[in-house]
């Protein structure tokens, strides 16, 4: 039996050697092995996982954002680290995921400021903001509890204070006119619902019916068919039918948002994106705010 075991062992070793030599013909694989400074034996042992890393790195070369990510774990690359005797593979965030994580942290840090924002706190010294400020004051003056006023789609430069301006109006309405308001950071809403589907029904019902709703930073989310059609589309359809005021902030203008919503990870659907945009247009006036980056 012993010679047979050795023959089998030798056969396996020969196969592993052949697989490694085939893999090394790929310049990306050879470069990865060289960069990691690992031994031939280690490369042979982890050949399959190293090939997976090469495939994911190749996907990243042509990627233009999280919406295009083809890797197994969205926004991450399976990457090895060596401790001489073995390799450990962990998921590392790509540059687009890092950007999103940074934006989310900044948004979370700004939530406390938004909670206490009031119209008296609005900076009126920048003339570029006056059109938006006048719109907000006009809305406040006309608001009544039985409310059918249009909301606002406010888009423009990053950090120009779009969310603060609308939050100041909504907080003022809640404090002085007893309005029921809700401010939702849209990418975070989709993440939370995806992580716990038991929340979906109650959350949808609430967001459909609340007096005044702000969808903050729409266009920053990863577009999925479910998030676009089942969540966003369902909420907007109800609010449009019932003439409930809805606000949006975005770094994208309405045409750019339509293009953004049309492309999901595995498909493109212009018609469904157009349907969302038509609902937004019926719910809102469209204004642009281009101003200094106040976050600096």
pLDDT band at 1 (very low <50, low <70, confident <90, very high): very low
Cβ proximity of 46 and 67 under 8 Å = no
Cα–Cα distance, 239 to 255 (Å, whole number): 22
Bridge-based pairing state of the strands 87-93 and 76-82: antiparallel
| Residue entry with tokens 């990306």 | 28
pLDDT (tens digit per residue) in 41-85: 888 888 999 999 999 999 998 888 887 888 998 899 999 987 767
- The predicted structure's pLDDT at residue 68: 82
* Three-class SS state of 249: strand
**Strand order, beta sheet including 151-156:** 181-185, 212-216, 245-250, 151-156, 284-289
* Three-class SS state of 118: coil
Letter string b/e over residues 241-269, b meaning 16 or more CB atoms within 10 A of that residue's CB: eeebbbbbbbbbebeebbebbbbbeeeeb
Maximum Cα–Cα distance across the chain: 93
What are the structure tokens assigned to 244, written together? 């409930």
Cβ proximity of 150 and 186 under 8 Å = no
Question: Does residue 4 have a pLDDT over 60?
Answer: no
- The predicted structure's pLDDT at residue 130: 93
How far from chain centre, in Å, is Cα 70? 16
Cα–Cα distance, 257 to 274 (Å, whole number): 10
Letter string b/e over residues 121-157, b meaning 16 or more CB atoms within 10 A of that residue's CB: ebeeeeeebeebbebbeebbeebeeebeeebbbbbbe
Question: Does residue 5 have a pLDDT over 60?
Answer: no
Write out the H or E segment, with its range, that includes residue 22: helix 2-24
Question: Does residue 2 have a pLDDT over 50?
Answer: no
Percent of the chain topping pLDDT 70: 94
Percent of the chain topping pLDDT 90: 54
pTM reported for the whole predicted model: 0.66
**H helix runs in 162-253, sequence order:** 162-177, 186-195, 200-209, 225, 233-241
Cα–Cα distance, 280 to 239 (Å, whole number): 10
Domains of the chain: 2-93 (no CATH), 98-289 (3.40.50.300)
């Amino acid at each position: 039996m012993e010679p047979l075991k050795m023959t089998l062992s030798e056969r396996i070793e020969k196969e592993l050697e052949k697989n490694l030599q085939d893999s090394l013909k790929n310049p990306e694989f050879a470069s990865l092995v060289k960069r990691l400074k690992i031994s031939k034996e280690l490369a042979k042992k982890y050949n399959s996982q190293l090939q997976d890393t090469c495939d994911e790195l190749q996907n990243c070369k042509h990627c233009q954002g999280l919406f295009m990510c083809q890797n197994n774990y969205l926004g991450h690359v399976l990457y090895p680290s060596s401790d001489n005797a073995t390799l450990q593979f962990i998921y590392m965030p790509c540059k687009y995921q890092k950007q999103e994580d940074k934006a989310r942290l900044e948004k979370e840090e700004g939530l406390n400021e938004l909670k206490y924002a009031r119209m008296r706190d609005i900076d009126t010294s920048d003339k570029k903001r006056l059109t938006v400020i006048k719109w907000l004051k006009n809305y406040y003056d006309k608001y009544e509890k039985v409310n059918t006023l249009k909301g606002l789609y406010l888009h423009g430069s990053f950090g120009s204070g779009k969310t603060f301006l609308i939050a100041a109006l909504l907080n003022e309405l809640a404090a002085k006119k007893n309005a029921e308001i809700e401010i939702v950071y849209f990418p975070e809403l989709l993440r939370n619902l995806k992580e716990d589907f038991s929340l979906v029904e109650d959350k949808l019902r609430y967001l459909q019916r609340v007096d005044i709703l702000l969808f903050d930073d729409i266009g920053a989310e990863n577009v999925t068919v479910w998030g676009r059609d089942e969540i966003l589309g369902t909420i907007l359809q109800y609010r449009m039918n019932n003439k409930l005021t809805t606000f949006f902030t975005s770094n994208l203008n309405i045409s750019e948002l339509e293009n953004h919503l049309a492309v999901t990870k595995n498909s493109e659907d212009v018609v469904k994106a157009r349907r969302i945009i038509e609902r937004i247009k019926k719910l809102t006036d469209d204004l642009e705010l281009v101003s200094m980056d106040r976050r600096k």
